Amino acid sequence: MKVNQNYQNLEDSYLFSTIARKVAEYGERNPSAKIIRLGIGDVTLPLAPVVIDAMQQALCEMSVQESFRGYGPEQGYSFLKDEIQEYYARRGTELDADEIFISDGAKSDLGNILDLFDVDNTVLIPDPVYPVYVDTNVMAGRKIVFMDANAENGFLPLPDPAVQADIIYLCSPNNPTGAAYDRAGLKAWVDYANAQNAVILYDAAYECFIEDESLPRSIYEIEGAKDCAIEFCSFSKMAGFTGTRCGYTVVPMALERGGMNLHKMWLRRQTTKFNGVPYVVQRGAAAVFTREGQKQIHETLAYYKENAKVLAQTLDELGIWYTGGKNSPYLWLECPNGMDSWTFFDYLLENANVVGTPGAGFGKNGDRFFRLTAFGDKQKTLEAAERLKKLLAK
């Protein structure tokens, strides 16, 4: 028996367990401390009423023989794919409904897509990064080249023609940095990928936070992207589906590499290894695109966006350098006074009772940076902002 030895090369992730331990220990030592958590990347507001209604209705259908549904299409029901196609069309991006594959979330597909690629490929990943891109490739034993995202490039690295890559990960708006590419930046990546015969795996899980109309919400808004990019999207942050699980992946029909059609390969992969997202969940997701659904999810998104604004204004007032906060639920700030990210974590916890996420947990370039999130409670976010102002004012 031989097991996958690559698992030995995975670095243990102590980030969130260390945060939880430090917060618990501090709480035990200081039972009266009112700790505010701005570290989590999970949403906190409930599903929209239209989603609940649609799911209840779908559940009732399942209880009646005439409307009961068993296995559905592995790629998702047309009623949901058509809504997503419309969602893109409203922004001027034409997709064939069959280019859209419904999934149980972006994370699964970001891992599963690697089934399409040989081990013998070079992967280009920004640092700092959402750790899933790194670990899924380490598991497969692929060679990873990191590109530096840093204050100099605004945490939006551009391609270096001297670097050879086959698979490129881009996430915009980015987790953890909140930075979002403009059209020129994405065009540079699309041109580079096509010149290198590479594939871009484009994570658009936070596209719904983009407010600036000049910024692209999909990589397919960029000419040439259908020849090189696969896009991953999610209902998690858009409509609070983190626990309900639904997302989608777009694989263009025209996307070919190594003499094979990646769309056909993905269809084959999904129909072989996946049996689709529950009907009830897909009905809930489709309700997001109704007029009332859009109104309701935008109210929730506005709540988070307001939190982001409060935190961004606080950092502006304090003169602290940061990315994100606009077009993103994340704020990525430079730790004050040259502190490293874990020192700043302790300092903030002990002196303001505010919890964030040390940037070091996302890669070496995060070592002097710190992530705050806008997914918390409004009053608590306001309170945290006041505490930050008090503690960090020069």
Q: Does 203 bind ligand PLP (CB under 6 A)?
A: yes
Q: Does 181 bind ligand PLP (CB under 6 A)?
A: no
Q: Does 247 bind ligand PLP (CB under 6 A)?
A: yes
What does the DSSP assignment read for 256-324?
A: EETTEEHHHHHHHHHHHH-----HHHHHHHHHTTSHHHHHHHHHHHHHHHHHHHHHHHHHHHHT--EEE
> Around 171, how many Cα atoms within 13 Å sit in the side-chain half-sphere?
26
For residues 15 and 318, which CB has a smaller minimum distance to ligand PLP in the complex?
15
Q: Using CB under 6 A as the criterion, what x/- string covers residues 20-49 for binding ligand PLP?
A: ---------------------x--------
**In the complex, minimum distance from the CB of residue 34 to ligand PLP, in angstroms, rounded to a whole number:** 26
Token pair for residue 88?
């893109």
CA proximity to 174, closest of 369, 13, 313: 369
- How many of the other CB atoms lie within 10 Å of CB of 311? 27
Question: Residues 6, 18, 194, 242: which binds ligand PLP (CB under 6 A)?
Answer: 242
Of the listed pieces 103-111, 139-147, 275-283, 376-384, which binds ligand PLP according to CB under 6 A? 103-111
Query: ∠ at Cα 40 (38, 46), nearest 5°?
Result: 100
Question: Residues 87, 101, 130, 289: which binds ligand PLP (CB under 6 A)?
Answer: 130
Q: Does 205 bind ligand PLP (CB under 6 A)?
A: yes
Q: Does 373 bind ligand PLP (CB under 6 A)?
A: no
**In the complex, minimum distance from the CB of residue 112 to ligand PLP, in angstroms, rounded to a whole number:** 11
Question: Residues 85, 136, 172, 175: which binds ligand PLP (CB under 6 A)?
Answer: 175
Q: Rounded to 5 degrees, what are φ and ψ at 2?
A: -120, 125
Of the listed pieces 23-31, 57-65, 99-107, 211-219, which binds ligand PLP according to CB under 6 A? 99-107
**In the complex, minimum distance from the CB of residue 287 to ligand PLP, in angstroms, rounded to a whole number:** 18
Question: Residues 234, 249, 328, 381: which binds ligand PLP (CB under 6 A)?
Answer: 234
The residue to which tokens 């982001």 are assigned = 308
Q: Does 278 bind ligand PLP (CB under 6 A)?
A: no
* Spatial contact of 224 and 190, defined as CB atoms under 8 Å apart: yes
Q: Is the peptide bond before 329 cis (omega within 30 degrees of 0)?
A: no
Count of helix runs (H) and strand runs (E) in the chain: 12, 15
Beta bridge partners of 36: 354
Residue ranges binding ligand PLP (CB under 6 A) = 41, 105-107, 130, 171, 175, 203, 205, 234, 236, 242, 247
